[in-house]
Amino acid sequence: MNRIELISLLPVLVLASGIMVLMLQTASRRSEHLSRWICLLTLILSLAAQLWHYPDAAQPITRLLAFEPVGAFFGILVLVAGVSVTLIQGPYAAKQREPAEEFYLLLLCSCLGALLLTLASHVGTVILSLELMSLPFLAMMAYNRQRTDALEAAFKYLILSGAASSLLLMGFALLYVTGGTLELAHILPEQPGLLARAGLVLVMAALAFKLSLVPLHIWTADVYQGANLSATLLLTSVSKAAAFALLIKLMLATPPVFARDLYLMLSLMAIASMLLGNWLALLQNSIKRLMAYSAIAHMGYALVAAIVATQSGHRLVVEGAAYYLLAYLIASILIFGILALLSDLGADADKDDIHDVKGLFWQHPWLAVGLSLAFLSLAGMPITVGFIGKFYLLTLAVKSELWWLIAAMLLGSAVGLYYYLRVIFSLYAEGKKGETAVTGNHTSRGWLGLMAAVLLLLGILPGLLGDRLGLLLLSS
């Protein structure tokens, strides 16, 4: 391992040493405040390292990792999500009774796993980092042990994600039997037999579980609803971004013989996710459940980019996928962040019912405006970043002439508009009397304000990032 490799690994190394510092700090003297700042500092330093040394070409680091532009971009998304969770966790968990320091430890471990997953170029790294990412989620979901829903959610996630991991292992094993290599770039053999196809299906099923795509989406709503807001935000941002990075990498390395099978399979999954996700979200009263079904639908949209990637190495594929996930991430951070400002981890449940936020505008106008912006962005309204993301995907789909997918996308978006607007209308309705308590310090509010500003800015001036994004991602 030479100097350049070490510098390329700097974000990972910073995160790993941050974890150790945090462990020693917790061991010597417990202080929630100090832990939060160490965690924040680690994530920001890691983010800075990632931005400072952005790769301009794919560069292997040993046989296990590869430092390349696409993964690095998703790595940035992961770290931004980590910073957001750290900032909202402080005020959100101020009144709970569990020791607060370990949450940051688990958060850093999970971010480390996700970051490694974006760097992975070998099956060994994929399995290891996927587990490192998922296992801390369980503890974070059930952080308040008094909530029975949270325990149920963690248990469901434990069993189902264990099943998904075993599918992944079996799939990779079958691919290894036929191909004889464990490197991701060559794992799909050029001459596929039935075994290799079966392996690919299993691997896709495991990824579909992580991305909550339709045949394997059933866990999503219950887990989102039961888990606390910070864990839900992590699940919807960190886990999805990292799993999607892996999916895109696999898709870009697909040999042409697999393209037709994959196209059929992924298209069906995408169409089903878009329609079913939006349809099931229609009647939800809990915003967390609504976000769960909306996550299913949004991952269906994002899958369109992956489908195009199997068809042709189109220039816009990676850019579109990255932009879409960025838009989704910003909106999720805003929604869960604002809900966390209204809720308290120590309470029996989060304030996520649609009636809890009724008339929020008349009490806390800025929070309501932030929530509305985020929901409008998810619905894909113009002047928000969500519109640009959807525009990218539609352009891609039209260029590749995937008419069925376009039809499902339009139909899904139209249905989606209804339930997003339902929440927004309720925000501005005549609310119940009495002040809704709001926690939160200047840092967390400032961060959410920044996210809202970015959401608008990138919606109005998409070229600001879009032009550079193309250069960043495609230079390989």
Residues within the interface to other proteins (CB under 8 A): 1, 20, 23-24, 26-28, 193-195
CB-based burial label for 180 (10 Å; 0-12, 13-18, 19+) = exposed
Cβ closer to other proteins: 193 or 382? 193
Cβ closer to other proteins: 173 or 347? 173
Cβ closer to other proteins: 124 or 193? 193
Residue 311 tokens read as 């068809």
Burial 403-432 (b: 16+ CB within 10 A, else e): eebbebbeebbebbbebbebbbebbeeebe
Helix residue spans in 9-68 (DSSP H)? 10-28, 32-52
Q: Work out how close the CB of 194 gets to other proteins at its nearest, in angstroms, rounded to a whole number.
A: 5
Cβ closer to other proteins: 57 or 194? 194
Cβ closer to other proteins: 23 or 369? 23
Q: Work out how close the CB of 234 gets to other proteins at its nearest, in angstroms, rounded to a whole number.
A: 22
Q: Work out how close the CB of 250 gets to other proteins at its nearest, in angstroms, rounded to a whole number.
A: 23
C-alpha to C-alpha distance for 26 and 198, rounded to whole angstroms: 46
Q: Work out how close the CB of 181 gets to other proteins at its nearest, in angstroms, rounded to a whole number.
A: 19
Q: Work out how close the CB of 154 gets to other proteins at its nearest, in angstroms, rounded to a whole number.
A: 17
Those residues whose C-beta lies under 8 Å from the C-beta of residue 302, and which sit 6 or more positions away, are 211, 244, 321, 324, 325, 328, 393
Cβ closer to other proteins: 24 or 159? 24
C-alpha to C-alpha distance for 162 and 156, rounded to whole angstroms: 10
Cβ closer to other proteins: 26 or 278? 26
- Residue where the block lists tokens 């099978």: 261
C-alpha to C-alpha distance for 188 and 171, rounded to whole angstroms: 11
Q: Are 387 and 326 in contact (CB under 8 A)?
A: no
Q: Are 72 and 118 in contact (CB under 8 A)?
A: yes
Q: Work out how close the CB of 31 gets to other proteins at its nearest, in angstroms, rounded to a whole number.
A: 14
Q: Work out how close the CB of 22 gets to other proteins at its nearest, in angstroms, rounded to a whole number.
A: 9
Cβ closer to other proteins: 193 or 255? 193
Q: Work out how close the CB of 1 gets to other proteins at its nearest, in angstroms, rounded to a whole number.
A: 7
Q: Are 305 and 324 in contact (CB under 8 A)?
A: yes
Q: Work out how close the CB of 23 gets to other proteins at its nearest, in angstroms, rounded to a whole number.
A: 4
Cβ closer to other proteins: 25 or 443? 25
Q: Work out how close the CB of 18 gets to other proteins at its nearest, in angstroms, rounded to a whole number.
A: 12
Amino acid at 363: Q
DSSP 296-322: HHHHHHHHHHHHHHHH---THHHHHHH
Q: Are 69 and 473 in contact (CB under 8 A)?
A: yes
CB-based burial label for 383 (10 Å; 0-12, 13-18, 19+) = middle
C-alpha to C-alpha distance for 310 and 403, rounded to whole angstroms: 16
Cα atoms found within 13 Å of the Cα of residue 304, Cβ hemisphere only: 37
Cβ closer to other proteins: 2 or 401? 2
